[in-house]
């Protein structure tokens, strides 16, 4: 395999960086494969103290989103909202958001980034923490979407008896999202909030 000439990045030539650009394309193209592999790995880990695995939680959230008619960005966001749990359990929300941020609209990555603090409304008081910490974002454009995400798709998705869709059924959506051009303005849609789909009455 051809390699660059430098041992320090500052010494790299134009040819070196063109070589790296070409060498990285196949790696970038396999991002969806690595994401799916991480989800499968999370299927081997029961969430400590919970009744389901980490993968099952993501699958449940994604299933709920899809069954409510959510679009691809929301479904993949729900599926992957805890993908960072294995490597960054103390800030998994931000880690997970960075995984999806280049490929989904800003609204979805913002919700994933902040879902941890929004979820505290359900349990923080049991630890003596601030249950209403999310109120610091009450005037943010994506506040309602994040509150709805937590209520409808996250906090409710720990049920071992919920009829959950398979990982394989989500694979085409994951591949579609991670095949997008990174940071495409038409995808990111900065400053746009559409919210979750309306629930049928």
Contact (Cβ atoms closer than 8 angstroms) between residue 63 and residue 72: no
Residue pLDDT, tens place only, 55-66: 999 999 999 999
pLDDT category at 48 given cuts 50, 70, 90 is confident
Whole-model pTM over 0.85: yes
- Name the average pLDDT for the chain: 95
Q: How many alpha carbons lie under 13 Å from residue 193 in its C-beta half-sphere?
A: 12
Section 52-57 average pLDDT: 94
Per-residue model confidence (pLDDT) at position 198? 92
Section 143-154 average pLDDT: 98
Residue pLDDT, tens place only, 118-133: 999 999 999 999 999 9
CA 125 to centroid of chain Cα atoms: 26
Matching residue, tokens 């994506």: 142
Residue 152 has pLDDT above 70, yes or no: yes
Residue 8 has pLDDT above 80, yes or no: yes
Classified as helix, coil or strand, 178 is helix
* Fold exhibited by the domain 14-187: Hypothetical protein af1432 (1.10.3210)
Q: Tell me how far apart the terminal alpha carbons of the chain are, to the nearest angstrom.
A: 60
């Amino acid at each position: 395999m051809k390699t660059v000439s430098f041992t320090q990045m500052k010494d790299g030539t134009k040819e070196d960086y063109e070589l790296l650009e070409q060498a990285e394309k196949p790696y970038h193209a396999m991002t969806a494969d690595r994401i799916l592999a991480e989800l499968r790995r999370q299927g081997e880990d029961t969430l400590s103290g919970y009744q389901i695995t980490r993968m099952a939680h993501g699958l449940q959230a994604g299933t709920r989103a899809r069954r409510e008619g959510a679009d691809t960005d929301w479904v993949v966001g729900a599926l992957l909202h805890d993908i960072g749990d294995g490597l960054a359990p103390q800030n998994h929300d931000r880690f997970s958001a960075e995984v999806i941020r280049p490929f989904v609209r800003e609204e979805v990555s913002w919700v994933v980034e902040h879902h941890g603090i929004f979820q505290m409304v359900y349990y923080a008081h049991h630890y003596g923490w601030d249950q209403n910490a999310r109120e610091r974002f009450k005037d943010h454009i994506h506040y309602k979407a994040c509150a709805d995400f937590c209520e409808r798709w996250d906090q409710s998705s720990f049920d071992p008896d919920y009829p959950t869709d398979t990982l394989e059924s989500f694979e085409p959506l994951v591949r579609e999202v991670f095949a997008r051009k990174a940071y495409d303005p038409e995808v990111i849609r900065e400053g746009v909030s559409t919210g979750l789909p309306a629930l049928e009455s």
